[in-house]
């Protein structure tokens, strides 16, 4: 296993419990900072199966939903509560420090029987004559080690080890974004039972998030067009984040005189997908395969779900059943692409006038709003009527876009210009 984040730790724990010899290599040492702190309700059943549900509850802030605010809304916002989702998905999730969650899952993999290596970087992977892989590693002391394995699970995250080394990584030509973010004290939370909810604010160049974390800390960040981020022209990241928050008065009012507890970080265009997802003796899970945008907090869930769904193909390959492996790969790819497609359709249009209108004034005709809440919960892999109603939402979006044709056309052209500029 390459990468000790949620995807790698999930696969390692599940395979080790099934009696397989597993080595999990992580280039850093836990705990380490990572963005992506907002979990989805559909994460909870996976935590139960891993046996860490109580520990996650202990380190998390209960998240009952998400609220959305437009630039002209002032302090008025719309909340979508997870308890209103279709089906039986859990009615809440958690906001967590990723440093704590990742460390917990990594330790759980070791408890399950996996050999866990920290400060150990994977340098190269080469297929051997017998079909196995030789994996070159370098530990914290600089010593280089060689490990032989019959199957490689690449959960290397944005390092995209296999996709990068094999030339499979492709920047997403349908979407382009950049972000700056940090942790702060002194940011006001929503009242009462909604105090753990994530808040999303639209502004002219993208959207802002506020994620409540334990101990009075708030994760605050902005996802924006890369061209907007370039306008900071050397301004310190904290100062530029303040300037961005000032574009949305209610967001700025909640921040007040906030104080950073972590350095504000900046990342460039990070939307990509690999040309290959799986093959003979290997699979890419989570961000090692693809990443779109964090607006719906899907990253950790998709990573852990994919890691769990990859188990049948690993076991089929190790058992020497090539027909079962091919079927498992086909099913895995179909499942992952279905989830990415469901989230991607919304993400690509999230900043459009039509989407903003529908999220700010939701209607539940034919239970369409509940289907959207199911998407926000991560319930996009079961056939429980969600996808049928999401297609109705797609139609409503087209109608909403036609009511403001000038603004919708301008938004579409800005998106095309952004993507085209990134690929010049």
pLDDT at 412: 63
Q: Residue 414: what pLDDT?
A: 66
257 and 320, same domain (yes or no):
no
From 236, 267, 298, give the residue that closes a domain.
Answer: 267
Contact residues for 229 (Cβ-Cβ < 8 A; gap 6+): 178, 179, 180, 266, 268
Radius of gyration of the chain (CA): 21
pLDDT of residue 339: 92
Residue 283 gets which letter from DSSP? E
Provide the number of structural domains found in the chain: 3
Return the residue matching tokens 């009527």.
385
CATH number for the domain harbouring residue 237: 3.30.9.100
Q: 272, 286 in Cβ contact below 8 A?
A: no
Q: What is the full DSSP assignment across 19-55?
A: T---EEE-SS-SS---S--B--TTHHHHHHHHT-HHH
- Residue 112: which of 52, 34, 194 has the closest Cα? 52
Distances (CA, A) of 126 to 38, 190, 314: 36, 52, 18
Whether the Cβ atoms of residue 36 and residue 169 lie closer than 8 Å to each other: no
Boundary (domain end) residue, out of 267, 296, 319: 267
Same-domain status, 348 and 254: no
**pLDDT value of residue 324:** 98
Residue of 182, 192, 159, 204 lying closest to 4 (CA atoms): 159
Range of the domain at 42: 6-60+96-172+272-340
Q: CA dihedral in degrees (140, 144, 146, 147; nearest 10)? A: 0
Peptide bond preceding 31 in cis form (omega within 30 of 0)? yes
Query: Could you tell me if 133 and 144 lie in one domain?
Result: yes
Asked whether the beta carbons of 109 and 239 are under 8 A apart, the reply is: no
Do residue 126 and residue 17 come from a single domain? Answer: yes
203 and 309: one domain? no
Domain boundary among 306, 340, 374: 340
Cβ-contact 354, 404 below 8 angstroms: yes
336 and 347 inside one domain: no
In tens digits, what is the pLDDT along the chain, a chain of 424 residues? 999 999 999 999 999 999 999 999 999 999 999 999 999 999 999 999 999 999 999 999 999 999 999 888 888 999 999 999 998 999 999 999 999 999 999 999 999 999 999 999 999 999 998 889 999 999 999 999 999 999 999 999 999 999 999 999 998 877 878 899 999 999 999 999 999 999 999 999 999 999 999 999 999 999 998 889 889 888 999 999 999 999 999 999 999 889 999 899 998 766 899 999 999 999 999 999 999 888 899 999 999 999 999 999 999 999 999 999 999 999 999 999 999 999 999 999 999 999 999 998 899 999 999 999 999 999 999 888 999 999 999 999 999 999 888 877 777 666 666 655 554 4
Is 87 part of any domain?
A: no
Q: What is the DSSP letter of 216?
A: G
CB-based contacts of 52, cutoff 8 Å, min separation 6: 104, 105, 108
> Phi, psi at residue 52, to the nearest 5°?
-120, 15
Cβ 164 vs Cβ 170: under 8 Å: no
192 lies in the same domain as 302: no
Question: If we measure between CA atoms, which residue out of 179, 194, 175, 157 comes closest to residue 284?
Answer: 157
């Amino acid at each position: 296993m390459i990468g000790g984040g949620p995807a790698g730790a999930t696969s390692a724990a599940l395979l080790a419990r099934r009696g397989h010899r597993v080595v999990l290599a992580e280039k850093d040492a836990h705990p380490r900072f990572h963005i992506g702190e907002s979990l989805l309700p559909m994460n909870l059943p996976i935590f139960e199966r891993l046996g860490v549900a109580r520990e996650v509850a202990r380190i998390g802030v209960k998240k009952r939903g998400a609220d959305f605010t437009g630039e002209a809304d002032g302090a008025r916002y719309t909340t979508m509560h997870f308890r209103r989702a279709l089906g039986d998905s859990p009615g809440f999730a958690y906001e967590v420090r990723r440093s704590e969650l990742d460390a917990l899952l990594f330790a759980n993999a070791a408890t399950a029987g996996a050999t866990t290596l920290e400060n150990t970087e994977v340098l190269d992977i080469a297929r051997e004559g017998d079909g196995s892989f030789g994996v070159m590693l370098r530990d914290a002391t600089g010593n280089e080690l060689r490990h032989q394995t019959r199957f490689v699970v690449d959960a290397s995250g944005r390092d995209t080890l296999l996709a990068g080394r094999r030339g499979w990584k492709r920047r997403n030509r349908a979407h382009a974004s950049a972000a700056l973010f940090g942790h702060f004290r002194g940011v006001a939370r929503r009242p009462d039972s909604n105090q753990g909810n994530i808040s999303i604010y639209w502004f002219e160049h993208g959207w802002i998030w506020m994620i409540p974390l334990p101990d009075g800390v708030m994760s605050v960040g902005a996802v924006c067009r890369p061209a907007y981020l370039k306008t900071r022209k050397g301004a310190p990241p904290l100062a530029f984040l303040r300037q961005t928050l000032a574009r949305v008065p209610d967001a700025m009012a909640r921040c007040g005189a906030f104080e950073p507890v972590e350095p504000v970080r900046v990342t460039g265009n990070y939307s990509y997908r690999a040309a290959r997802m799986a093959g003979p003796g290997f699979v890419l899970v989570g961000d090692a395969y693809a990443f779109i945008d964090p607006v719906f907090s899907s990253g950790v869930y998709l990573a852990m779900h994919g890691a769990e769904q990859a188990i049948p193909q690993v076991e089929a390959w190790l058992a020497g059943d090539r027909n079962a492996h091919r079927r498992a790969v086909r099913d895995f790819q179909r499942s992952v692409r279905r989830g990415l497609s469901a989230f991607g359709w919304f993400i690509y249009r999230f900043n459009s006038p039509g989407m903003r209108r529908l999220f700010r004034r939701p209607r539940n005709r034919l239970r369409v709003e509940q289907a959207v809440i199911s998407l926000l919960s991560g319930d996009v892999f079961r056939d429980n009527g969600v996808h049928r109603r999401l297609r109705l939402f797609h139609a409503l979006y087209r109608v909403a876009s036609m009511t403001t044709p000038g603004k919708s056309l301008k938004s579409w052209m800005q998106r095309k210009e952004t993507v085209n500029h990134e690929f010049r």
